[in-house]
Every structure is written in structure tokens, then in C-alpha cells.
Structure 1
Amino acid sequence: MEDSQKPEPPFLPKHIKENWIGPPDPVSKIRPIRHFIPENETVIEKLLREKHANVLEWNHTYWKKHNKAFKRERRQFVEQLQERQGADTAVTDDQMADFYRDFMERNQRKHRQYNLQWYGHSARLLGLAGLVAPLRLLRALRLLR
């Protein structure tokens, strides 16, 4: 994810001294993160930060698309139900439960693929974090001396 590809939300501060987490996106429900970039950032730290930002963007894109589809299909379900039963008829909890179950069944394969990809991304990030943690510990110890 390059900075020039996507405009920054206006509430994200430009200059920070630690990671900053913004409010959730109204559609994806994913919180944006602005990562602090230290002056002495190593190549592996930069790689971890960039990979983390890419995973966050991938996650945001998936959930934005999923949530839009869910809302669209839910709206269509309610409209079709009201056409059959009359516009004044309220949708019951049981009817909505049927919709939710059907929606989840139709999207089960997509969710499984998402979970497998999420596990892969998380494992790679953990591996990089395992390389970065000792570097940061050594840096902190040198500062204490």
C-alpha cells in the first residue's frame, strides 16, 4: 500500500510519536492505523511495518466488500418479504434468522478462504515480529547503559 494510492482520512494526524489508531471505518468497521516510523528504523522493522499496513488494507478491503454485500442482500430480503406480506408488515426475528443463516451458508467458502489467508498473514507477521523484538530489546539495553 503506497501513500500515493489512497488518500489519508482527514482525522489521521500527520506527525506522531507512537502508533495512532483511528475510529472504525463506517463500512468495514476496521480501525485505521498510522504507524510511527522511528528515525533509526532498520530494514526488518520497515518490512514488518509495511507488511502490517498491507494486511490491514487487505482486511479493510475484504470487510468493506463483505459488509456492503450483506447490507444490500438484507435490504433486498426485507423488501421482497414486505412485497409478499404487505408494506406495513414487520420482519420477524425468525425471518431475519433465516436470512442470516442463508447468507452465511452462501458465503461459507469465501469466509473459509478469508480465514486461511488471515492465518497466513498473521503467521508471517509473527515471524517478522519475532525477528524485530530482539533488535528492539538490544536497542533499549544500549540506551540504558
Structure 2
Amino acid sequence: MLGLHARNCSLMLERHSVEILPICGFASESTSSASVIRDRKSKKSKEVKCDCIGPPDPESNLRITKFYIPPNETPLERQYRDARFETQEWNQTFWKDHNTKFKKLKEEFIRVRLREKYGNDTKDRKSLSADEMSEFYKKFLDDHQEVHKEYNREWYKKNANNLLLATRVYFQQRGNKQR
């Protein structure tokens, strides 16, 4: 798993026209990012009680979530958080591998097509037309159709499980508030 450093948290929330940026688990109400950094140790700082979203991963293109852990987390809430984390890890691994393979095959396709089209004199020719690239995209999707179907089946299963756990957590929290 990619480590999500607190400095990468880029979640912005709008509350009453005030910008809130989670930084190192804290958010400061301010009008600029510079004052957030300056104020993060001040009395204005307050703990962010929500998940923190990082920047897109360069390989998977997914934004990694750092999940908030409440101080009095119940076993069910932990199970839900762990399930979400495992789903994120699985998703991250799949898309990292998929995108790496896609880029490798795409570069190979371009290299071969340019050589076929221009011979060894490909220095001035670095790209193919959209029509030429559409052949690659179609072939890639056709070749990976079963992989994508299996991914979707697993994705639906994992999200159904996460939804069930979220519902159980909701009713647990609702029941605790009514006492």
C-alpha cells in the first residue's frame, strides 16, 4: 500500500464559505493555505473527524483515502473501516497492475506501428493518429474483457459487503444515541 502522508491530504470542505484543509489530522479555518500551515499549531486548530483524501496515485490514478479512526471505535466500526481499507488496497493493486500493463502494451503498439509505417526513420514521428490508436484500444478492451468482468463482479461484492457493514454501523450508532 502506498503510504499516505499527512502533507498529501488535499480534501477541501466548504463550511459557511470557510476553507478547511485537513493537515496532519488537523484542520484550520482560514482563507488561504499559507495561513492553514501557520495556524495548524494554534488554538484555532481542531481535529478533523472525517476521512482524508490524498492526491491521485501516479500509477493507479486513484486517490488514496486515509481513514479516520474515532477514539471510541466499536468492533463493528473497525470491521467496516478494515473492509473499506481492504477494498481500497485491492482496487489500488488492480488498477496499478492494469495501468502498467496498458502503458507497456500501448508503447509497444506505437513503436511497432511507427516502425511499420516509417521504417527505422521514426525520429520525427512520435505519435499515431486517433484512428490508428483506436485499433489498439479496441484490441486491448477485447483482450481484457474477461479480466474487466471479473473485476466488476468482485467490485460489486466488495461494495455490497461495505454497504451492509455501513448500514449495520449506522443502526448501531443510531441505537447508541437513543439511549
Tell me the CA shift for residue 140 of structure 1. Answer: 4.3
Unaligned runs of 5+ in 2: 10-22, 26-47
Normalising by structure 2, we get a TM-score of 0.71
CA distance in 2, matches of 1:70, 1:7: 20
User: Which residue is 2:3 aligned to?
Assistant: 8
Normalising by structure 1, we get a TM-score of 0.86
Tell me the CA shift for residue 92 of structure 1. Answer: 1.3
**Residue correspondences, number:** 137
**Per-residue deviation, residues 81-130 of structure 1 (Å, max 9, x unmatched):** 11111114441111100100000000001000000000110111111111
Tell me the CA shift for residue 137 of structure 1. Answer: 2.3
Amino acid in structure 1 at the alignment position of 2:128: V
Question: Is 1:121 aligned to 2:158, yes or no?
Answer: yes
Q: 1:110 and 1:7, CA in 2 relative to 1: closer, same or farther beyond 3 A?
A: closer
User: Which residue is 1:48 aligned to?
Assistant: 80
Unaligned runs of 5+ in 1: 1-5
Identical aligned pairs, as a percentage? 33
Are the counterparts in 1 of residues 54 and 65 from structure 2 also a CA contact under 8 Å? Answer: yes
Which one has a bigger Cα radius of gyration? 2
Higher helix proportion: 1
SS for the counterpart of 2:4 is: coil
CA distance in 2, matches of 1:131, 1:140: 14
Higher strand proportion: 2
CA distance in 1, matches of 2:77, 2:4: 25
Higher alpha-carbon deviation: 82-91 or 32-41:
82-91
